[in-house]
């Protein structure tokens, strides 16, 4: 999606189609562009003799190159996006949340962070600096630990990204009553809007999205459909369902049916435990009764997830190496999955006054990273080896008929 906006804003003809092996995406439109299966590639080549395939993936780049070779595509017929775009920016425009999900830092005891909103002027300066320091900035995520829909200028932030040829990604719990804000956001047409939830009925949802109101979320999903149609925008809505033992039966089926009815993408994730500080304590054997209550709801417990994901070898840490995460108050943590403002994990006190060279150098000095990698936490947080996670989940007792 970022690449597509990058092309359009740099005077190139657009993207012909997105190619994805996920059947849930095939035959759908993403930002008004059709998604086709990899098997359609030879047909596309017939139709478009100067077709160029751009491999823009977070994972499995080598596998895709191999597959293209097997389909007789020459190396002059594809390019890896990772050779051109290496830095991915996340701007946490809101440093607080209206919910207290027990899996999140906001819902766990002992986690503290200053609360506030990034002023719009600072936001513009952050974007300007990112663009001036990085070869290509094709997309920026406007969330990390906060709830972005609490920012009254979120729509204007999306507009500013678009004015600069940058695509916008937003993730929200959508348990908000701000009609005007939602309307303005949709008018600004962010490329990607993830809606995070964990149930269809309050009984299940309230346990894991504590403080939220699933009926309000559902009414906002209808409202989203209405606004998208009214303003004729192409925002991709991805309803991301967090799986637990108490919500993967009837709750899941009902939410999937609702998303099908509304024409939204429906994706699932085995719920993780966040943030890194809590995971490290767990790995060190520190007892935590609050965490134990959450663990009883997980389909894949922390150690099981770490074990499954550690089967995938990674060099370094993708969160440290490819991400630049800027907090609402301009501080820069080493990655998006640490939460506390411990000086040992901050790599800059003011992003606007610190060069990228300095930020990169400071990231290499963070001692916590050694421990985190030794415990296998980056791979766990990426959810690597999902097939194994699914096998483990399949052995668990489900309490949602
Ligand atoms: C901390 S949230 C902040 C954004 C927003 N408040 C939300 O919940 O979508 C950042 C991302 O973490 C994801 N997330 C939250 N809890 C999760 C969990 N238990 N397992 C996996 N992902 C989770 C959300 O889907 C969201 O995209
Ligand atoms: S996961 Fe999102 S909605 Fe839940 S507490 Fe964290 S920031 Fe808020
Ligand atoms: S090693 Fe851990 S703490 Fe360091 S950047 Fe990666 S995920 Fe974050």
Residues 331-355: tens digit of each pLDDT:
999 999 999 988 899 999 999 999 9
Q: How many residues does the chain have?
A: 401
> Among 375, 361, 225, 223, which residue's Cα sits nearest to residue 286?
375
The CA distances from residue 36 to 69, 361, 369, in Å, are 19, 41, 39
For the chain, give the mean pLDDT.
94
What confidence category does residue 257 fall into, taking pLDDT thresholds of 50, 70 and 90? very high
**Whole-prediction pTM value?**
0.95
Residue range(s) in the chain whose domain bears CATH number 3.20.20.70: 88-393
Q: For residue 25, how far is its CA from the centre of ligand 2 (angstroms)?
A: 26
Does ligand 1 come within 6 angstroms of the Cβ of 171?
Answer: yes
Q: Which of 90, 94, 101 to mutate to test the pocket of ligand 2 (most atoms within 8 A of CB)?
A: 101
Residue 61's pLDDT is what?
Answer: 83
What is the rounded distance in angstroms from the CA atom of residue 112 to the CA atom of residue 330?
Answer: 17
Tell me the pLDDT tens digit for each residue of 45-101.
Answer: 999 988 999 998 877 788 899 999 999 999 999 999 888 888 899 999 999 999 999
Tell me the pLDDT tens digit for each residue of 26-56.
Answer: 888 898 899 999 999 999 999 998 899 999 8
Q: For residue 317, how far is its CA from the centre of ligand 3 (angstroms)?
A: 6
- What is the third-level CATH fold of 88-393? TIM Barrel (3.20.20)
Does ligand 2 come within 6 angstroms of the Cβ of 100?
Answer: yes
> Among 323, 382, 353, which residue's Cα sits nearest to residue 139?
323
Q: Helix 386-393 crosses helix 302-309 at what angle (to 10 degrees)?
A: 140
> What DSSP line would sit under 25-70, residue for residue?
TTT-EETTEEEE-GGGHHHHHHH-TT--EEE--SS-HHHHHHHHHH
Residues 140-151 have a mean pLDDT of 96
Tell me the pLDDT tens digit for each residue of 201-222.
Answer: 999 999 999 999 999 999 999 9
Residue 387's pLDDT is what?
Answer: 92
The CA distances from residue 114 to 43, 79, 278, 307, in Å, are 54, 42, 18, 34
What confidence category does residue 189 fall into, taking pLDDT thresholds of 50, 70 and 90? very high
The percentage of residues in the chain with a pLDDT greater than 70, rounded to a whole number, is 100
């Amino acid at each position: 999606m970022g690449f597509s906006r990058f092309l359009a804003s740099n005077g190139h003809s657009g993207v012909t189609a997105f190619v994805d092996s996920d059947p849930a995406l095939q035959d759908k439109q993403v930002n008004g562009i059709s998604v086709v299966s990899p098997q359609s590639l030879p047909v596309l080549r017939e139709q478009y003799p100067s077709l160029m395939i751009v491999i823009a993936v977070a994972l499995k780049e080598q596998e895709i190159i191999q597959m293209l070779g097997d389909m007789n595509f020459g190396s002059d017929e594809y390019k890896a996006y990772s050779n051109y775009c290496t830095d991915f920016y996340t701007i946490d425009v809101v440093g607080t949340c209206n919910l207290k999900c027990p899996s999140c830092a906001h819902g766990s005891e002992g986690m503290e962070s200053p609360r506030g909103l990034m002023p719009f002027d600072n936001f513009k300066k952050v974007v300007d600096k990112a663009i001036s320091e990085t070869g290509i900035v094709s997309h920026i995520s406007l969330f990390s630990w906060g709830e972005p829909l609490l920012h009254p200028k979120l729509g204007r932030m999306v507009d500013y990204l678009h004015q600069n040829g940058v695509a916008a990604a937003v993730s929200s719990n959508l348990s908000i009553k701000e009609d005007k804000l939602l309307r303005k956001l949709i008018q600004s047409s962010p490329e990607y809007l993830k809606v995070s939830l964990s149930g269809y009925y309050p009984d299940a949802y309230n346990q894991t999205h504590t403080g939220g109101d699933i009926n309000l979320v559902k009414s906002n999903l209808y409202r989203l459909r209405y606004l998208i149609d009214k303003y004729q925008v192409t925002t991709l809505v991805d309803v991301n369902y967090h799986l637990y033992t108490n919500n993967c039966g009837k709750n899941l089926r009902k939410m999937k049916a609702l998303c099908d009815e509304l024409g939204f993408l429906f994706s699932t994730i085995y719920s993780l435990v966040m943030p890194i500080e809590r995971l490290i304590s767990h790995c060190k054997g520190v007892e935590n009764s609050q965490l134990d209550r959450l663990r009883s709801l997980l389909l894949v417990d922390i150690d099981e997830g770490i074990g499954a994901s550690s089967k995938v070898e990674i060099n370094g840490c993708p969160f440290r190496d490819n991400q630049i995460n800027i907090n609402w108050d301009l501080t820069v943590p080493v990655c998006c999955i640490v939460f506390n403002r411990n000086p040992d994990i901050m790599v800059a006190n003011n992003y606007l006054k610190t060069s990228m060279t300095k930020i990169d150098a400071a990231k290499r000095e963070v001692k916590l990273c050694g421990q985190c990698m030794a415990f296998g936490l980056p791979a766990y947080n990426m959810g690597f080896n999902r097939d194994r996670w699914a096998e483990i989940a399949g052995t668990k007792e489900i309490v949602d008929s």
